[in-house]
Amino acid sequence: MFTYVTHLIMHKTMRKILLLSGILLVSSLSVQAQDCNPEVPDGIGELAAFSLFNTNYKNKDYEFALRYGRWMICKKPDSIEGYPSFNLERQWDKLINIYTQIGKSKEDP
């Protein structure tokens, strides 16, 4: 009987610790996500940045493509003036692939 009660108390304590750890992890991730900058880099226009993003993505220069595509993650534009067929949904797959390829090219410390 005593061991069952002890086990029950430890189980509840572990659940609370795991729940608290999960909350801390999620909150720290959301804090990091707030460092988003919706400004187009180097003061160039959205169309020029989008063009550089696409060109460098196609050439597999992922770090350079990310430099000119990261603003889209933050700003989430519905359209880009001068490019009527812009579709943000299609860019998400490219950005995911960019981060994946950059991750694969880095060594784990």
Please name every residue paired with 83 in a beta bridge, in sequence order, or none if there are none. Answer: 80
Residue type, 63: E
Instruction: Check pLDDT > 60 for residue 33.
Output: no
Rounded to the nearest 5 percent, the helix, strand and coil shares of the chain are 75, 0, 25
Mean pLDDT score across all residues of the chain: 82
Alpha-carbon gap, residue 38 to 54, rounded angstroms: 18
Which residue has tokens 């220069």?
61
Instruction: Check pLDDT > 90 for residue 18.
Output: no
* pTM (2 d.p.): 0.64
| Residue-level pLDDT at 31 | 46
User: In this predicted model, what pLDDT tens digit does every residue of 56-84 receive, in sequence order?
Assistant: 999 999 999 999 999 998 999 999 999 99
